[in-house]
Chain A
């Protein structure tokens, strides 16, 4: 069943000189529950903007976006925030951990915006989530004391602690070396697979994109499917044209 449907999505901004810059143009994309898709593209191609629109952090200037069958253009700012917290988890390239908070506090932070039992039980839930990503021995570590890979694992734990339907990962291995990046991706895929979470990965790394069920290329704001030939042969698993 289609959970995310983008139809003719466009995003443009008005520049100081009055001209218009099109960041995304006529994007059509459907994503099923539990699917893993990857979007590759160069810097400035609009990847992050697409991710922000999907994650309700930003709004399109054209087209329609349906989330679980509901048009999102009718959402109020409050609805968007609530839907964002309940439906999406975000993993950022630079981790974006809250400084001077322990790993547990970082992972527990999203639960402060949940309701009822999730708020009261946020610390045990955070510890359990950290244990799932292999950081059970780093519960009280501050981000400054963690390696890059560990920080990203904390960020993944944080993004998954509310059991989101969709995990949006923006260059999750962009700040890591190849080996660490591979380990983090293994762990990320394992965690989302365990919970049936949809994974949308934005990357410029074709080997990371190759791990997804479907791959797309975003070039100058235009989305198109990637072919098998464009992916690294060893790691390519499947492409959908």
Chain B
């Protein structure tokens, strides 16, 4: 224990005395670890951003849609919708939503306009990770409301004025038998300038379907475990084919799934590969400086041998100087990366919202630190061997 402390004290003393040389030789290591860790963090954020964006469009992994079209007649949306809901109950699907895209007439102040709407179930918001700017998403109790609830886009809201949760704006929907709907939430535009709205299926069935000749057949979205996706798809497709004779039934996966996994691999290992390469270059720099410095310190090493320093002790001291220095540079690089990653104004930098900011990539930080230390050890071995091989008598006279 005492010997180890003495070796560390000696190594640290050398680093302190030669701090300018040490600092200069460690710039490469610092930058490599800083870059590696912060880019890994940026990669995590990028992955999360892509994931969230993908989930908003196609749903979380794994989201499966099931659709049925009649072969010869016009679709009976009510029959299809009922069959889809029976599927959910039969297979006890925990997260699901019947989804139907329609167009309705919205009577905005001063103008009436045909607006695309999507009728969904409350689960849809969670399944698609929808982020609201104001107000809230639907709850099951919203289907009991006398006036249908709406979650609208910014452009939709812009035609109504502002949003006040205590006095929410309303809009009259429909042509022949209009109904007044209440806006309960606002989200960002998917298509800038294009008004869009979500409403609950229960509301759409009650108020809109009968007077809406432009509706698409409903489909069912299910959020299921990724490893069950083939089983679920086969089962519900077969079942629906029996339930809805004369219909074409098919299921497809909506989320990005394997494409995201590929991107994840590229970001994770590509970034690390570049980081390790940079670290290796930093190590070569340390090795060069280490060799030059050992040459300059040969007399000092000889004097230390006269104090009783064994070959092993000289070897370990030179090695630890390198290891301590690169470890310190690595720790500093990680510290700077942490400070940068935790303090970046993501809301201002990113044009799209990020709901779950990923935590600092601890694994990348630990890897960076260990890699820096290992590079220090590798870069220190050759100078340490040179120091040990110097003859004591010659070293003192050097």
Q: Is the CB of A58 within 8 A of B6?
A: no
In the complex, chain A residues whose CB is within 8 Å of the CB of B5: 119
Does A120 interact with chain B (Cβ within 8 Å)? yes
With both beta carbons as reference points, the residue of chain A lying nearest to B312 in the complex is identified as: A78
Does A82 interact with chain B (Cβ within 8 Å)? yes
Residue interface bits B309-340, CB-to-A below 8 A is 1, else 0: 11111000000000000000000000000000
In the complex, chain B residues whose CB is within 8 Å of the CB of A171: none
How far apart are the CA atoms of A57 and B310 in the complex, in Å? 11
Residue interface bits B1-38, CB-to-A below 8 A is 1, else 0: 01101100110010001100000000000000000000
Does A116 interact with chain B (Cβ within 8 Å)? yes
Main secondary structure of the interface of B (DSSP, over half): helix
Of A77, A82, A90, the residue contacting B306 (CB under 8 A) is A90
Task: Evaluate whether A57 and B313 lie within 8 angstroms (CB atoms) in the complex, with A101-B17, A105-B13, A119-B5 already known.
Answer: no
Q: Is the CB of B308 within 8 A of A120?
A: no
Of B3, B300, B310, B396, the residue contacting A98 (CB under 8 A) is B300
Query: Which of A58, A77, A84 is the most central at the interface, judged by chain B CB atoms within 10 Å of its CB?
Result: A84
Q: Is the CB of B13 within 8 A of A101?
A: yes
With both beta carbons as reference points, the residue of chain B lying nearest to A55 in the complex is identified as: B306
With both beta carbons as reference points, the residue of chain B lying nearest to A113 in the complex is identified as: B308
How far apart are the CA atoms of A96 and B396 in the complex, in Å? 8
B262 CB to closest chain A CB (Å) equals 55
In the complex, chain A residues whose CB is within 8 Å of the CB of B306: 55, 57, 84, 88, 90
Q: Is the CB of A86 within 8 A of B308?
A: yes
How far apart are the CA atoms of A120 and B1 in the complex, in Å? 11
With both beta carbons as reference points, the residue of chain B lying nearest to A110 in the complex is identified as: B307
Does A112 interact with chain B (Cβ within 8 Å)? yes
List chain A positions with a Cβ less than 8 A from chain B: 49, 52, 55, 57-58, 77-78, 81-82, 84-86, 88, 90, 92, 96, 98-101, 105, 109-110, 112-116, 119-120
List chain B positions with a Cβ less than 8 A from chain A: 2-3, 5-6, 9-10, 13, 17-18, 299-300, 303-313, 392-393, 396
Q: List 19 A-B contacts (CB under 8 A).
A: A78-B310, A81-B308, A81-B309, A82-B308, A84-B307, A85-B307, A85-B308, A85-B309, A86-B308, A92-B396, A100-B17, A100-B18, A101-B17, A112-B6, A112-B10, A113-B309, A114-B308, A116-B2, A119-B2
Besides A96-B396, A112-B10, A113-B6, 11 other CB < 8 A contacts? A57-B396, A84-B308, A85-B308, A85-B309, A92-B303, A92-B396, A109-B307, A110-B308, A115-B3, A119-B5, A120-B2
